[in-house]
Structure formats: structure tokens, C-alpha cells
Amino acid sequence: MVMKVYGSALSTAAMRVFAALYEKDLQFELVPVNMGAGEHKKEHFLALNPFGQVPAFEDGDLKLFESRAITQYIAHEYADKGAPLVCEGKPMATVGVWIEVEAHQFDPVASKLQWELVFKPLFGMAVDAETVKENEAKLAKVLDVYEARLGQSKYLGCDCFTLADLHHIPTLSNLMGTPLKELFEARPKVSAWAADIMGRPAWAKVLAMRNQQ
């Protein structure tokens, strides 16, 4: 059976899952969820994700939600396919730390900035300059930590590309299309890392999916 991802090619959370699937060279079906029509809050979707958020995921009789949990399942279950995305033993503990850093330090701030600078203009809504200023300062502090870390290893978790890097790509890619690009470019190691992970062939396939929407 082909794996199914329920969501939208425009969703940054769903894009994390697509990126992991493409990194693993796995076949999957995108089952579109019309969020504009509130389909994600309807009973048939709530049976897949009771919190009413995309993506949801099916692999045979296994049903999952939460994008980072899905990518970890894909990386471990299909370890023999495509790019590794995880590693064994003690190095995986460090990768796990940076997976948590993305979820709890980078994403909350980056997502607020993405909403203000990417999505609000798309919806014709006014940008809250104070929110941007406050979160830009917070993001700068996170990126200072990243700059130091990337002086110790090529990627965040270790010297190879893992989920710790992949999880950043959707929001990072969107922010690089805003004036906040300067925050990343001002830090040479962060800038090189961002260009590296956004230049992966799997991510190009995700962008091609999005552009077809």
C-alpha cells in the first residue's frame, strides 16, 4: 500500500513530511485537505488527527499525526532507503537535542515571523511591526547559538544531514524570501548551512509540489 499524507502542499508542517519522504525515495499519495473550507475540523479528518491540524499520515494500518513524529517514523522504519536522516548510538543523542532545539527554540519564533511576513501579506492583512521587531531579536539570539554550533560540526546534529536540519527547511525557506534573509546571511556558518540544506534535491521536489497548487 502507498503511504498517504493528508494535508496541503502549502503547509510548512506537511512540507516537513514530504521532504522526509523524498529524501527516502518513497512513494506516497497526497490526499488534499481543504483547510479554507474547514475540512480539517470535520469528523472524517478528526478521526485521523483529533486536534484538527495537518498533516495526518497513514502507512498501512498505522495512523500518525504531528509532523516531527511522522518524519522520525519514516527515518527509522525506512532506514535502509535513501538518505539516512538519523544515526546510531551516542551521535543520535546529539541529533535528538537539535531536533528539540528546532521545535522549542527556533520554530515558535520563526513561525510567528513567517505568519507576519509571509502569510499576512498573502491574505491582505496588516503586518504587526512590534511583533516582527520582538521576534526578530529572539531569532537573532537563536541564530547566534546556531553559528557557534555550526563551527563544531557541518550540520546541527553531526557531520551529516539529519532530521535536525530537515525540520528547519520549510519555515527557513519562507523566511529567506523576506528581509529577515539578512539575519541568516550575517552569520557565515548559518548562511552556508541554510544554502546547503535548501539546495537538496528532495527539497526541490517539495517546492515543485507547492508550485503546482
What is the pLDDT, as a whole number, of residue 73?
A: 97
Give the per-residue pLDDT at 158: 92
Q: Global pTM?
A: 0.94
Q: Classify strands 28-32 and 56-59 as parallel, antiparallel or unpaired.
A: unpaired
Angle at 109 between CA 36 and CA 138, to 5 degrees: 155
Nearest partner of 205 among 4, 9, 55, judged by Cα: 9
| SS3 assignment, position 104 | helix
Residuewise pLDDT in 10s, the chain (213 residues): 799 999 999 999 999 999 999 999 999 999 998 777 888 888 888 988 889 899 999 999 999 999 999 999 999 999 999 999 998 889 899 999 999 999 999 999 999 999 999 999 988 999 999 999 999 999 999 999 999 999 999 999 999 999 999 999 999 999 999 999 999 999 999 999 999 999 999 999 999 998 886
What's the N-to-C CA distance of the chain in angstroms? 25
∠ CA 186-189-193, rounded to 5°: 110
Q: Which long-range contacts (CB under 8 A, 24 or more apart) does 177-184 make?
A: 177/118, 178/113, 178/117, 178/118, 179/117, 180/113, 180/117, 180/136, 180/139, 183/136, 183/139, 183/140, 183/143, 184/143
Helices assigned H by DSSP within 55-128:
67-77, 90-101, 107-114, 120-122
Q: How many Å apart are CA 163 and CA 122, to the nearest integer?
A: 29
Q: Is the dihedral of CA 159, 160, 164, 166 positive or negative?
A: positive
What's at 174, amino acid-wise? N
Rounded Cα distance, 84 and 77, in Å: 11
Contact 31, 4 (CB under 8 A): yes
